[in-house]
Chain A
């Protein structure tokens, strides 16, 4: 029995005998040669192919195998292209239309599909074996799933080639070899490439310069595309690791003390409860869409395909702008609850009887249960979160200054923000921070806290100690922590060398700052 081949003609699939296929292919080839350089020729070819499909349908239905007889009778009905009576004016816009009609576009290839036809399409478009792309995607799948992501993007962005003309855009000049019968004997590649023959010297020179410029531009574009893809990818990976997997320590940058792993969690203490998912969802869209676009356009620059992605892009832009707008409104609304700030400050003189000053902490962070920690780099603002009680603890800001008038003083400033000033004062008063003075002793809490369940409202407690020059300052372990966290950067290198006196670290007040004793 003869081998049969599956072909697609006019959008329908037929099985055809091998010898009948050869005959049909030759006929289609001559049809193509006859019309491809003619204005509207591709449409004519498409119309005729539809008619061929119709004739085959009426002869066989969908199930039967097309034989040589069928092809012969079809050809006798439609005629050989050379028998078609020539009607069109000769030479009308010959070169103009070949260029337009052979515009290439990337589609998914419905005839060569494992999952969705993306690889089949790439293979057809670049005239390469699709297996190559399948292997590449499979390998890239294991590189952080990048293969998977790129595949999904292409799957969404690329339409399926439904019509013959789309197939022609996909396959280009390999149309007959490729789209008709991939199991077939290949198809002769003999569209005589019409060279102009008018070898004008100027044309050649400009052609060569043009080619060089084109190649350089192409390389630049590919490099840019690679940068785009890498940037988009890195951004996306970071985003996923941080916000989806809360990947430990990715945002703890060594030496900066920046720890924002739990920023998304902390957010529920800043904004009103119902808006958290909105803010997270909208900012995800605002961040992720441009990254996806970057990756897609990067790929597009690298392999330079055309696809009907205009509507797709437009929709993405509309969604992005809308998300950004809504996010801005939501954030602005939330922002108004920080519009007014209330400030207070209080002061106490520390009675002195010796040249030693003790700084001790009563309420220690060690005694507090917290499960998350958020810190910001510049103002040494540290937040400790207890999610079960929904309580927040903060380290106060401590600064130590040389006293101008030989007295020892402690000054405590607080501020809180709220939508109105009176609410801000209420919040301020509810900040829980204790301090006290005794003979030669300052007592501080190691933390201040908000009352249970209260939202964060830019609360701040700052402690200023004015200490006369020459005073020996002894810090217990917890007050040392406060100093540590506040002076970590400024005193870089001084910590670790201090002298100990029982459980106290010994510092000496110089004319402008604290220095460890013995240095």
Chain B
């Protein structure tokens, strides 16, 4: 068994949930999200985030607007849509359930 692979599998499951959670506080552009996720050690490389954002946006969970950046190209600022919000609150519930389940198993 490859421990890194298992860790990656675990992260993978919660990444979408984490992105939505970050965006639930305020709208940000990709680098802000990356910073938070990196600090929390949920992702290793930035490239992982971009396909996810695209997919969530296409699924109607996120919307974005362009904003000029003080330097470099303009930035996409993402924010949660109403669908995204209700989607997130469902994930919140299932996360609570999951944590509860895991804890029950571990402390038995």
Contacts and interface: CB of A to CB of B under 8 A. Distances in A.
Interface of A: 10-12, 31, 35, 38-41, 43-44, 47-48, 50-51, 53-54, 57-58, 61, 77-81, 83-88
Contacts of A50: 73-76
B73 A78 contact: no
A53 B51 contact: no
B22 interface: no
B41 to A, nearest CB: 13
Contact of B51 (A10, A41, A61, A80): A41
B47 A87 contact: no
A310 B11 CA distance: 46
Contacts of B12: 85-87
Contacts of B53: 44, 47
Given A85-B12, A85-B44, 18 more contacts: A40-B54, A40-B55, A43-B54, A44-B54, A48-B50, A50-B75, A50-B76, A54-B31, A54-B69, A57-B73, A78-B47, A79-B46, A79-B47, A83-B45, A84-B48, A85-B11, A85-B15, A85-B43
A79 B71 contact: no
Contacts of B73: 10-12, 50, 53-54, 57
B8 interface: yes
A54 B55 contact: no
Question: 7 nearest interchain CB pairs?
Answer: A79-B45, A57-B72, A79-B47, A40-B54, A54-B72, A84-B47, A78-B46
A interface, over-half SS: helix
A83 B71 contact: no
Nearest to A45: B50
Contacts of B54: 40-41, 43-44, 47
Contacts of A53: 72-73
B107 interface: no
Interface of B: 8, 11-12, 15-16, 30-31, 43-48, 50-55, 57-58, 69, 71-76
B48 A79 contact: yes
A43 to B, nearest CB: 5
A43 B57 CA distance: 11
A290 B6 CA distance: 67
Contacts of B75: 50, 54
A84 B72 contact: no
Task: Among B8, B31, B71, B72, find the residue whose CB has the most chain A CB atoms closer than 10 A.
Answer: B72
A247 to B, nearest CB: 53
A58 B51 contact: no
A51 B30 contact: yes
Contact of A77 (B8, B15, B46, B69): B46
- In this complex, the member of A12, A77, A84, A86 whose beta carbon has the largest number of chain B beta carbons within 10 angstroms is A84
B87 to A, nearest CB: 16
A39 B72 contact: no
16 contacts: A11-B73, A31-B47, A35-B51, A39-B58, A40-B51, A40-B55, A41-B51, A51-B46, A58-B71, A61-B71, A80-B45, A81-B47, A83-B45, A85-B8, A87-B12, A87-B55
Nearest to A9: B73
B44 A79 contact: yes
A341 B53 CA distance: 78
Nearest to B13: A87
A47 B66 CA distance: 12
A114 to B, nearest CB: 26
A12 B72 CA distance: 8
Nearest to B45: A79
A10 B30 CA distance: 15
Contact of A47 (B11, B30, B43): B30
